[in-house]
Structure 1
Amino acid sequence: MTTLRLRPEGPADTGPVRRVLAAAFARPDGTTPGEVGLVDELRGSPAWIPELAMVAEYGGEVVGYALLSRVHVKSDDARYPALALGPVGVAPHRQRVGHGAAVVQAALEAATELGERLVVVLGDPAYYRRFGFTRADRLGLTSPWSGLGEPWQALVLPPDTSDAPPPPAGEVVFPPPWSRV
């Protein structure tokens, strides 16, 4: 029986990850999707956290990908670390069987283990709600995508106890590669 294996991306995964993202975000005109370039640029930046670049491998083939990269919340004159989820992609022949949800959950669990507290995402609210994401504006978070409303979402990672300080509110600042997507 073939099982799904979830693990951090390794050096040999660069090509397979590019292929998964190119297929998952394929454009009708055949040009390379911006998500491929985003991951390539983030790999060489301070926003890259190797333990939070997760692949889903099925039958020895990389079929899914979820990336959490460093962003910051600018509040007053301070900057607080947070994470951005994306891109998330699954090879078309393995979509709708749970690989995307599994690789996202693995990335979020890895972030929790590293002590991260806040994740933002721009995506389908119906999909990301299953992981606990809610509208980011409810947490006082803004970004270039705030005007999109519900798709601009955030998740406070455990431990979210009554004695834990709330996550900072403010403007989420993305690293330069994000401006090209």
Structure 2
Amino acid sequence: MFHLSRETDNDYWEVEGLYDLCFAPGREALSSYRLRDGVSPVADLSIIARDAEGILAGAIRHWPVDIGGAAALLLGPVAVHPTRQGEGLGALLIQDSLERAAALGWSRVMLVGDAPYYKRFGFVRLDGVQMPPPTNPDRVLGNALLPGAWDGVKGNVTRPDFSDPDALSQTAARGA
């Protein structure tokens, strides 16, 4: 049994340690991290899972991004401690965070990952959405939390422009 809760400032270094364990310290060289530089994750969608003894077993974060003027969430990273893998915790974190995102009014979520794994959560390949290189376009996946949320959304994935009041209001409107 796992207890899911919002990540707090006190959890930060423990979560970073889990990400390093699962992905190696070089994970920050990935192109998706360029979109995270200088941007805080969405606090309500940074979720941790602890076991009955309070030991960190998994974590997930989401980040705001912009795609051709449309606000979206970038899911990731999601990690499960190696001793807890195979127990369904990754799926629990993903499904829970998608439900929370929808409840908060977000309309679309994207990620870079393996389509065969993520399709069970409703993710499909996004045509016309370009992640920073070098990203395999076959691994750029999206989930419409509202019907048609990805219709017409195309372009480069960039960090939100928090100096632009219109971009800020779009992020505040949670991509609706």
Tell me the TM-score normalised to structure 1 length.
Answer: 0.75
Aligned pairs (5 A) from 1:83-94 = 83-94=73-84
Q: CA separation of 1:64/1:12 partners in 2, compared to 1, >3 Å: closer, same or farther? A: same
AA of the residue aligned to 2:6: P
Gaps of 5+ in 1: 27-31, 176-181
Runs of 4+ aligned residues of structure 1 deviating over 4 Å after TM superposition are 35-39
What is the DSSP-based 3-state SS (H/G/I as helix, E as strand, rest coil) of the residue aligned with 1:33? Answer: helix
Deviation at 1:17, TM superposition (A): 0.5
Quote the residue 2:70 is aligned against: 80
The C-alpha deviation readout for 1:134-157, integer Å capped at 9, x for no partner, is 0011xx322225861321111111
Q: CA separation of 1:19/1:157 partners in 2, compared to 1, >3 Å: closer, same or farther? A: same
Quote the residue 1:96 is aligned against: 86
Quote the residue 1:129 is aligned against: 119
1:153 and 2:151 matched: no
Quote the residue 1:108 is aligned against: 98
Deviation at 1:12, TM superposition (A): 1.6
AA of the residue aligned to 1:50: A
Q: CA separation of 1:170/1:99 partners in 2, compared to 1, >3 Å: closer, same or farther? A: same
Q: CA RMSD in A?
A: 2.8
The separation in 2 between residues aligned to 1:167 and 1:6, in whole angstroms, is 35
Instruction: Give the total of aligned pairs.
Output: 157
Deviation at 1:33, TM superposition (A): 3.4
Identity in percent: 31
Tell me the TM-score normalised to structure 2 length.
Answer: 0.77
What is the DSSP-based 3-state SS (H/G/I as helix, E as strand, rest coil) of the residue aligned with 1:34? Answer: helix
Quote the residue 1:21 is aligned against: 19
Quote the residue 1:57 is aligned against: 50
What is the DSSP-based 3-state SS (H/G/I as helix, E as strand, rest coil) of the residue aligned with 2:138? Answer: coil
CA contact (8 A) 1:118 1:167 kept: no
